């Protein structure tokens, strides 16, 4: 019976709410007696699960808020205060519903992390076998093909590939991996083929540690609930004793029950759920999904905001920021032939150039001959009769293509501005430089300014990206502090240190890699599109 009631508590809450609404409609229609009947029914239906919880707490020798609400509601019924009794019980259940929804969202977030973990691995043990990832042992040789997930942390011993490491580093730009490079569990092979030797397996993998950190951070947020339980343990019997004293002094049962009803934490029971619903609704209308009233309470005390960089302060989508043509080429023509050559490349920088050409509706038709990808450096190809060499300084030096002082100075200037400089040589001479960068969001400066205007004194950026680019973003946005080249666990430690020094910390990020730090912070801000 009790299990059935607890299972259907949402339906009980809904029925109670409908009966209350019906009661007020009947009152407006002039059927006052029927109104009382509807409100009494709403009270009786809603108080049952509350009374059950109170009884269960008493069996554990604990005095809960539910006990005081139950006593106060019985008193309200005795005083014929049916509106008070029905509304308090309904909103108490509705508040519990909101809390349950918050916990459900939290569990679903954790489940999304767990679902990212690969379930199987292809290993070479004399023959090729597909086994559950739990059976992989340190030293196993593992095969990962295009589209597959890396099942464990390891080191590449054969092959090369482009990996999406957003789950671990948060960086949207795919990373090129080859012999002797490390790979991490949960990352995805976009293109290529790898054979790795397992170094960390099971609970020791990077993704497993991220999941563990999120679980620990979520568990640490039960301190508020523990305080409320302790408060109720003293408050509830205290109020009951005081009500008895009132009766002993006055011999007025009505006054004693009135005291009980007044002492019921009605302001909390009614105010907390209503303010929560209003706040959540207002946030939703402005594109912000808020997980519960406790978050809104903490926001009023906030003094430190920590941002991830990629996808949070920046767009998370690399773009061509500048094309500098030298000699006789126009920018558009240079972009067209370079993009045509880059169609043979799977590298993210090459694909960014191709995307830029497509965005400008440039035709990539034409002859492409002798295309060759030079691993880690760039490409060579013939396009429309031109011999193109596209890549970094090492490739230019290897091809004996001179870089003039003018070209070198321009490239250094673009790099200091946070770009990657791609050299494009045509027929043995540098014809241009392509600058590629992940651009700052257009609304980021306004967001930082609004935080300042609302009294946030400390704004910090934590990122897995290189320090030079991080400094550029921090300087443009006027941030107070930055730390670069961080792993997820480093971000967690920094957030913990800030909290330990007395700061109320909000952490904003968009990647799975940010999840532990977001969960550790007093307020977690998960960015959406």
Query: Is 204 among the catalytic positions?
Result: no
Helices (H) and strands (E) in the chain, counts: 19, 18
Nearest to 85 by CA among 271, 270, 277, 272: 270
Q: Rounded to an integer, what distance in angstroms lies between the CA atom of residue 339 and that of residue 388?
A: 11
Q: Rounded to an integer, what distance in angstroms lies between the CA atom of residue 18 and that of residue 12?
A: 10
Q: What does each C-alpha distance from 362 to 337, 340, 353, 425, 435 come to in angstroms?
A: 10, 10, 12, 20, 19
Nearest to 353 by CA among 436, 439, 440: 436
The SS3 of residue 367 is coil
SS3 content of the chain, % helix, strand, coil (to 5): 55, 20, 25
* C-alpha count within 13 angstroms, C-beta hemisphere, residue 165: 22
Residues 6+ apart with CB under 8 A from 203: 209, 212
Q: Rounded to an integer, what distance in angstroms lies between the CA atom of residue 185 and that of residue 176?
A: 16
Residue 280, phi then psi, degrees to nearest 5: -65, -40
Q: Rounded to an integer, what distance in angstroms lies between the CA atom of residue 516 and that of residue 492?
A: 6
Residues 6+ apart with CB under 8 A from 218: 106, 110, 519
Q: Rounded to an integer, what distance in angstroms lies between the CA atom of residue 471 and that of residue 466?
A: 9
Neighbouring CB atoms inside 10 A of 278's CB total 12
Phi-psi region of 185 (alpha: psi -120 to 50; beta: other; left: phi over 0): beta
Spot the catalytic one: 140, 308, 510, 522.
308
Catalytic residues, by residue number, are: 308
């Amino acid at each position: 019976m009790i299990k059935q009631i607890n299972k259907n508590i949402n339906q009980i809450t809904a029925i109670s709410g409908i009966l209350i609404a019906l009661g007020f409609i009947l009152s407006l229609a002039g059927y006052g007696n029927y109104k009382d009947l509807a409100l009494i029914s709403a009270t009786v239906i809603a108080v049952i699960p509350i009374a059950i919880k109170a009884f269960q707490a008493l069996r554990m020798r604990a005095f809960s808020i539910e006990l005081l609400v139950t006593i106060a509601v019985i008193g309200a019924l005795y005083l014929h205060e049916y509106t008070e009794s029905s509304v308090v019980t309904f909103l108490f259940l509705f508040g519990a519903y909101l809390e349950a929804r918050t916990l459900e969202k939290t569990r679903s977030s954790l489940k999304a992390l767990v679902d990212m973990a690969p379930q199987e691995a292809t290993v070479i043990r004399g023959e090729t076998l597909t086994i559950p990832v739990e059976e992989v042992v340190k030293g196993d040789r593992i095969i990962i093909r295009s589209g597959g997930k890396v099942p464990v942390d390891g080191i590449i011993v054969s092959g090369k590939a482009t990996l999406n490491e957003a789950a671990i580093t948060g960086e949207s730009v795919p990373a090129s991996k080859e012999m002797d490079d490390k790979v991490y569990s949960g990352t995805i092979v976009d293109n290529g083929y790898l054979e790795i030797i397992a170094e960390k397996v099971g609970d020791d993998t990077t993704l497993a540690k991220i999941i563990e950190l999120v679980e620990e951070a979520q568990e640490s947020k039960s301190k508020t609930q523990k305080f409320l339980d302790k408060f109720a343990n003293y408050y509830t019997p205290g109020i009951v004793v005081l009500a008895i004293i009132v009766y002993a002094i006055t011999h007025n049962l009505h006054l004693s029950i009135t005291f009980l009803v007044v002492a019921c934490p009605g302001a909390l029971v009614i105010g907390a759920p209503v303010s929560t619903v209003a706040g959540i609704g207002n946030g939703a209308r402005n594109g912000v999904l808020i997980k519960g009233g406790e978050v809104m309470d903490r926001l009023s005390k906030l003094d430190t905001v920590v941002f991830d960089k990629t996808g949070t302060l920046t767009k998370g989508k690399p773009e061509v920021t500048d094309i500098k043509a030298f000699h006789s080429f126009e920018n558009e023509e240079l972009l067209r032939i370079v993009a045509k050559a880059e169609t043979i490349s799977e590298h993210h920088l090459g694909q960014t150039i191709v995307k830029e050409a497509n965005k400008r509706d440039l035709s990539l038709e034409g002859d492409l001959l002798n295309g060759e990808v030079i691993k880690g450096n760039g490409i060579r190809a013939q396009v429309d009769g031109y011999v193109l060499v596209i890549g970094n300084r090492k490739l230019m030096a290897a091809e004996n293509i001179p870089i003039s002082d003018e070209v070198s100075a321009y490239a250094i200037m673009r790099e200091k501005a946070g770009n990657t400089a791609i050299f494009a040589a045509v027929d043995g001479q540098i014809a241009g430089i392509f600058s590629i960068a992940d651009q700052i969001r257009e609304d980021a400066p306004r967001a930082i300014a609004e935080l300042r205007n609302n009294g946030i004194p400390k704004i910090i950026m934590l990122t897995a990206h290189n320090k030079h680019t991080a400094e550029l973003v921090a300087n443009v946005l006027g941030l107070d502090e930055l730390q670069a080249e961080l792993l997820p666990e480093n971000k967690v430690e920094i957030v913990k240190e800030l909290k330990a020094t007395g700061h109320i910390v909000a952490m904003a990020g968009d990647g799975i890699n940010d999840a532990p730090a977001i969960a550790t912070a007093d307020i977690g801000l998960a960015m959406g599109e």
